[in-house]
């Protein structure tokens, strides 16, 4: 599978083996920007990596025979976290939203890793 199929085009399906390899690459890039690139540049790069992550997970859910709309649950929490970090609100529970997004994303990744591919007709 090529870059566009894995990270750009949300239609289609990604079997478990290519998904796992693409997820490892995506997590390595996220770790690079999170730990090694400080300030707004790193935050912006992490925000831009949200789209490829959502596409990758949507394609995996298609392969499992599930609706891709499920990626919006952790995606919304992660986007809210990014919004609260970029535009802080004094009374906003940033830590709760952040941990909710991380937990929901981890659950989606775990489910995608252990889920079986749907039978093809």
pLDDT at 120 over 70: no
What b/e string do you get for 9-24 counting C-beta neighbours within 10 Å, with b at 16 or more?
ebeebbebebbeebbe
Which element (helix H / strand E) includes 88?
none
Domain boundary assignment for the chain: 3-114
Which element (helix H / strand E) includes 11?
none
Mean per-residue pLDDT for 50-58?
94
Where does residue 110 rank: exposed (0-12), middle (13-18), buried (19+ CB within 10 A)? Answer: exposed
21-30, 79-88, 91-100 — which one is most confidently predicted on average? 21-30
With the CA atoms of 4, 66, 71 and 7 taken in that order, what torsion angle do they form, in degrees rounded to the nearest 10? -10
């Amino acid at each position: 599978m090529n870059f566009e199929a894995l990270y750009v085009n949300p239609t289609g399906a990604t079997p478990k083996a290519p998904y796992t390899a693409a997820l490892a690459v995506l997590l390595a890039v996220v770790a690079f920007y999170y730990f090694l690139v400080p300030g707004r540049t790193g935050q912006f790069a992490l925000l831009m990596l949200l789209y490829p992550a959502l596409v990758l997970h949507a394609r995996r859910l298609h392969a499992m025979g599930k609706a891709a709309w499920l990626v919006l649950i952790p995606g919304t929490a992660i986007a809210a976290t990014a919004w609260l970090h970029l535009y802080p609100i004094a009374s906003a529970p940033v830590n709760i939203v952040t941990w909710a997004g991380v937990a929901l994303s981890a659950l989606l990744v775990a489910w995608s890793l252990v889920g079986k591919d749907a039978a093809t007709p």
